[in-house]
Structure 1
């Protein structure tokens, strides 16, 4: 195939369509995969590096918090400084951080490396989508490209669970990070040959980045999560707990003030939330993130520490749920044509809530087929079904040029909800287990009781999300009227769902 001319807004030549799309999908799958790939490796990481139960969640949260805090900044940087440049920058940072994490000999090094991975992902992920939307300018090609990009975004969870189990079981847990190194190096080399030279987007405005805003929101979230985690060992009244919580609240309040009054190019323009659709969609996504993302953490520990699964078996056990989430996302447009947006916004979280409530009665000597398979599918299927209507609600009724920003905000909200939800639910579960152990309850019974309570509270979070959906604006917009997220530089998978799913249907 002949080398194609660069699209408008780019300079020089680029590789053939299939090569560009493959490279961009590879970059995105690296980012998505590293959220789920660690779940089945958590028990092995704890045994090797001596993590406590409370500290173990930082292997997950260090990644998701930095990813969430810098995601919108990464999207703006791609517009301001060139998409190929930021794509390669994200790849380099992600690859180096993966190497450092794989070599880590202590908890702190691994946590810092995971945070650096999250920062690299926050630069890389929006660059993949903006490159895709500027490369594939013809509507049919763009729809097919968006479908492929969304498929790897959704399928990355399934690949991550399975790959994490295979690498941990057959080699060791360090290879869940080392695997990114050869892939990242190959992608960097390919980027120099395949992607067109970028130039700043003239519509992006002056070269101003709201770095302070990103630092404030990230540091504030980290402090809140740190204080919440400390409550497990020290109680809520201890300065080690309420000190970080107070600092976090102050930093987040400063962030809101900075965004509203000070920032010349705010990373989150608060005027967006004047739209009821955006506000409701982000609230629903927050509660759904709180409920769903944490359940992978608890299921991994339950299957390996209580049921005795090895890492490979645990990875395989997650596959049906991951496939159900992807299927739910692709079924969204078909269901939208039949019932509209609001019923899916309500029904998706409710379905996840039912699955989580089912998991809240897991026995100590449970079985996969009887106690885990169906509720796992319900949890992830409900989340997948909700993705497309959430993206539509978050981008409807706003100027077209801000659709990408709105999609980026809702993806950030999902990561924030997942991080805070994991911290809160892990604290609730661990506190319950500690009280039962102190009362003389057997270890396995106490631990499983903590998991049950965490699942039950997670179900309540999902129900709150469903109730919040009632406030979504109506009448529900038809799928065909939804904004084309591919036409704007967005910042996350949520932006891709409507176009991708429409192509798939």
Structure 2
């Protein structure tokens, strides 16, 4: 705790100097000298943790709830092309990933609790509009899903920042972050189950029910989340706000990420030789270079905390990109294979995913113990996570279409959650402990950006492979070949991440011996 307080004390003058001191003053309150979790009773703490973890739960529920209904929604709009339908999930993941980084800075400035409630409210509004798109057209459905993703982008980093601010480094903090990761597969299963059940009445009810639940959470959060340490912000002019929010860097960074991912997601539809793909791709790369220049050279308060991105943090983030890209590919194309090739209903498809929730809970407990009392090194935990991602992807890719559920598919359902729930808490803890208390939002944003952008980018990569492998995509054999090609892309990404982990683990052990 003392080290974190020293970092906070050292960071405050730097922040003030970055905005010329007279324009902005960041003054920690007296509450910053203690940890919020130490003042909560067990029942109050349980409610607090449960409400905050709903940010992760609802993010994955909205993803899986739409994923299992892709064919149902497509039928309503007369859309049958898999790459075109993929925009309903890829567009959602795209905005989740690209707006997270800036959302963390908003939380650092305006308060994590306030931004979490705003995020839940936005999430609720656009879930409602996404359901209402049934009265319009497919473009509105995709557009509303894209804007719906801004809600989780606001919620996720600020939820993690609340935990990072409330808990000191140690076993309790490790378990809370493990719980936050564990609710991801649980939320996915619940989201898929309720969406499938509500679709028996009418598919928009899956989105409207989500909107109602999110509205309830927004109200509950205002009471369940205690008042967090605050800082007085007194900007005197608009230049101060531009500096503290790093608006030039935020704008260029978001646009570059959106353009780059748009190119990969749209390429399976338009082809790589078209201007609608090449132009966004080139512009995205150029703008990302400009973003890096702004963050390194120009911004007094950059969105990316480059000072904490040491070798260990960089290794974790590189492994996370590969692993979570594999997870996005695995989820999307396993659902496609079950519904299109095996002809399962959305409800039965979700039932097949139920072991994910149980395995996710077990993985969270194991990870909490590894990172807590057992004090396992992060390279070891990340290596185990990437091994799980690789194994699960291989099992799914090579599973025969006529094999019983209890064969490779079932085993992959048990293995993949360990990749998710071992990598996410480990990465979050590393970054959270590396940044000062007043920068928890930015630190949490970095991890969530890598996770969600990895998912979005993985889906784009796999979509390109699918189109080039499935031929005309008319027969079942053609579509199966495309799905398997996409899954092999996931195997390659997971294997790359595993190689990175093994290399870093070898380096870590060599240093320990020396």
Larger CA deviation: 188-197 vs 140-149: 140-149
Residues 384, 227 of structure 1: alpha-carbon distance in 2 compared, 3 angstrom cutoff: same
- Alignment partner of 2:271 out of 235, 256, 271: 235
Q: CA deviation at 1:145?
A: 5.9
Equivalent residue number for residue 207 of structure 2:
177
**Match of 1:37, SS?**
helix
Equivalent residue number for residue 47 of structure 1:
75
Larger CA deviation: 131-140 vs 304-313: 131-140
Cα separation, 1, equivalents of 2:416 and 2:178: 23
**Match of 1:265, SS?**
coil
**Is 1:454 equivalent to 2:486 in the alignment?**
yes
CA contact 2:397–2:488 (8 Å) conserved in 1: yes
CA contact 2:178–2:368 (8 Å) conserved in 1: no
Query: Number of matched residues?
Result: 465
- Alignment partner of 1:431 out of 457, 468, 472: 468
- Alignment partner of 1:60 out of 74, 86, 89: 89
Q: CA deviation at 1:306?
A: 1.2
**Match of 1:257, SS?**
helix
Larger CA deviation: 53-62 vs 370-379: 370-379
Listed as ranges, the gaps of 5+ residues in structure 1 are 1-5, 479-505
Larger CA deviation: 401-410 vs 286-295: 401-410
Listed as ranges, the gaps of 5+ residues in structure 2 are 1-28
Q: CA deviation at 1:342?
A: 2.8
**Is 1:328 equivalent to 2:363 in the alignment?**
yes
Residues 307, 289 of structure 1: alpha-carbon distance in 2 compared, 3 angstrom cutoff: same
Equivalent residue number for residue 481 of structure 1:
none
**Match of 1:36, SS?**
helix
Which runs of structure 2 are paired with 1:100-139 in the superposition (5 Å)? 100-104=129-133, 105-132=136-163
- Alignment partner of 2:423 out of 368, 376, 386: 386
Q: CA deviation at 1:154?
A: 5.0
Equivalent residue number for residue 477 of structure 2:
445
Q: CA deviation at 1:89?
A: 1.6
Residues 390, 204 of structure 1: alpha-carbon distance in 2 compared, 3 angstrom cutoff: farther
Cα separation, 1, equivalents of 2:159 and 2:234: 17
Larger CA deviation: 191-200 vs 422-431: 191-200
**Is 1:314 equivalent to 2:349 in the alignment?**
yes
Cα separation, 2, equivalents of 1:145 and 1:360: 33
**Is 1:471 equivalent to 2:504 in the alignment?**
yes
Q: CA deviation at 1:195?
A: 4.7
Which runs of structure 2 are paired with 1:190-201 in the superposition (5 Å)? 190-195=220-225, 200-201=230-231
Residues 17, 477 of structure 1: alpha-carbon distance in 2 compared, 3 angstrom cutoff: farther
- Alignment partner of 2:319 out of 272, 284, 287: 284
Residues 194, 340 of structure 1: alpha-carbon distance in 2 compared, 3 angstrom cutoff: closer
Q: CA deviation at 1:384?
A: 2.9
Equivalent residue number for residue 354 of structure 1:
391
Residues 458, 146 of structure 1: alpha-carbon distance in 2 compared, 3 angstrom cutoff: closer
Q: CA deviation at 1:44?
A: 1.0
Cα separation, 1, equivalents of 2:208 and 2:336: 23
Cα separation, 2, equivalents of 1:267 and 1:153: 26
Residues 264, 106 of structure 1: alpha-carbon distance in 2 compared, 3 angstrom cutoff: farther
Residues 210, 319 of structure 1: alpha-carbon distance in 2 compared, 3 angstrom cutoff: farther
Residues 240, 143 of structure 1: alpha-carbon distance in 2 compared, 3 angstrom cutoff: closer
Q: CA deviation at 1:425?
A: 0.5
TM-score normalized by the length of structure 2: 0.79
RMSD between superposed Cα atoms in Å: 3.6
CA contact 2:313–2:431 (8 Å) conserved in 1: yes
CA contact 2:87–2:265 (8 Å) conserved in 1: no
Equivalent residue number for residue 105 of structure 2:
76
Q: CA deviation at 1:143?
A: 7.3
CA contact 2:128–2:211 (8 Å) conserved in 1: yes
CA contact 1:28–1:125 (8 Å) conserved in 2: yes
Q: CA deviation at 1:256?
A: 1.6
Q: Please give the per-residue CA displacement for 1:458-492, whole angstroms capped at 9, x wherever unaligned.
A: 111101001111225625999xxxxxxxxxxxxxx
Equivalent residue number for residue 285 of structure 2:
249
Residues 279, 173 of structure 1: alpha-carbon distance in 2 compared, 3 angstrom cutoff: same
Q: CA deviation at 1:453?
A: 1.3
Q: CA deviation at 1:448?
A: 0.6
Cα separation, 2, equivalents of 1:194 and 1:82: 16
